[in-house]
Amino acid sequence: MRLQLDSRRIGVLVSGRGSNFRAIADNVKSRALDAEIVVVVSNRENAPGLEEARHRGIEAIWISSENTDRERFDERVIAELTKRRVALVCLAGFMRILTPAFVRAFPNAILNIHPSLLPAFPGLDAQKQALEHGVQFSGCTVHLVDNTLDGGPIVRQAVVPVTAADTVQTLSDRILVQEHRIYSEAIDAVLSGRCDVSGRRVVVHEEST
Ligand code: GRF
């Protein structure tokens, strides 16, 4: 099945630092990525990603996740995204598991980035898990979001070596450079209708010249 979205309007969900959001926004600005970031949403009022968005003139919304259940929180986020006709939702360090209702609201139209070569090391502290496991290569993965934790179909991956001297910090830094590159590439592949999904497999067709 070819993934086809209605528009190039994206919404980015962040909980923290927001460096992936920054990289995406930089690529949009330089026109390396043909997309429009219409809103940034966070569950954390003080997420640096929100401030960064405002600074760039992008609408930034905080939706508190305190004293509310998961369903109600997600309903509010879905409402803000649909109101702005977001076609693709990009999770960028969004530290919450989406409800099935959220996944249903954006079928095959939610991307997430994870700092490991999935299916290895899903969940929290992926870089620490990789070091402790003793792998010699790790990396990052952009995948479609389904109802499994970091388990949806893989759109793009990048590999980095793990060295004997690595700490969680140095490995994370090396992986992050690749995250910033492949997230925009994956977004572009989806927005430009170059992804065929068949079960778990995503085939990304090269850009036509
Ligand atoms: C990244 O490592 C991403 O892979 C993971 O959370 C981190 C978010 O970093 N899901 P940032 O907020 O984009 O800087």
Q: What is the pLDDT of residues 103-125, one digit of tens each?
A: 999 999 999 999 999 999 999 99
- Distance (angstroms) between ligand 1 centre and the Cα of 91 equals 9
Can you give the pLDDT at residue 29? 97
Q: What is the pLDDT of residues 18-44, one digit of tens each?
A: 999 999 999 999 999 999 999 999 999
Per-residue model confidence (pLDDT) at position 24: 98
How crowded is residue 198: how many other Cβ atoms within 10 Å of its Cβ?
Answer: 9
Query: pLDDT at residue 100 above 80?
Result: yes
Residue 70's alpha-carbon distances to 66, 74, 99, 110, in angstroms, are 10, 6, 7, 18
- The answer, yes or no, to whether any atom of ligand 1 lies below 6 A from the CB of 25, is no
pLDDT digits (tens, 9 = 90+) for 39-63: 999 999 999 999 999 999 999 999 9
Residue 209 has pLDDT above 60, yes or no: no
Which residue's CA is minimally distant from atom 8 of ligand 1?
Answer: 93
Q: Sign of the C-alpha dihedral, residues 23, 29, 32, 35?
A: positive
**pLDDT of residue 93 exceeding 60:** yes
Of 135, 136, 153, nearest to 144 by C-alpha is 153
Which pTM value belongs to this model?
Answer: 0.97
How high does pLDDT run on average in the chain? Answer: 97
pLDDT digits (tens, 9 = 90+) for 181-205: 999 999 999 999 999 999 999 999 9
Q: How large a percentage of the chain has pLDDT more than 70?
A: 99
Whole-number pLDDT of residue 116:
98
User: Across residues 142-157, what is the average pLDDT?
Assistant: 97
Determine the distance separating the centroid of ligand 1 and the alpha carbon of 61, expressed in angstroms.
Answer: 19
pLDDT of residue 208: 61
Question: Which atom of ligand 1 approaches the CA of 23 most closely?
Answer: 13
> How far does residue 92's CA lie from ligand 1's centre (Å)?
6
- Select from 17, 20, 140 the residue to mutate for testing ligand 1; criterion: most ligand atoms less than 8 Å from CB: 20
Q: Answer yes or no: is pLDDT of 148 > 80.
A: yes
92 CB within 6 A, ligand 1: yes
pLDDT band at 207 (very low <50, low <70, confident <90, very high): confident
pLDDT at 76: 97
Q: Which atom of ligand 1 is nearest to the CA of 176?
A: 2
3-state percent breakdown (helix, strand, coil) of the chain, nearest 5: 35, 25, 40
Query: With contact defined as beta carbons under 8 Å apart, do 36 and 8 qualify?
Result: yes
Q: Please name the residue whose Cα sits nearest to atom 5 of ligand 1.
A: 93
Alpha carbon of 205 to ligand 1 centroid (Å): 26
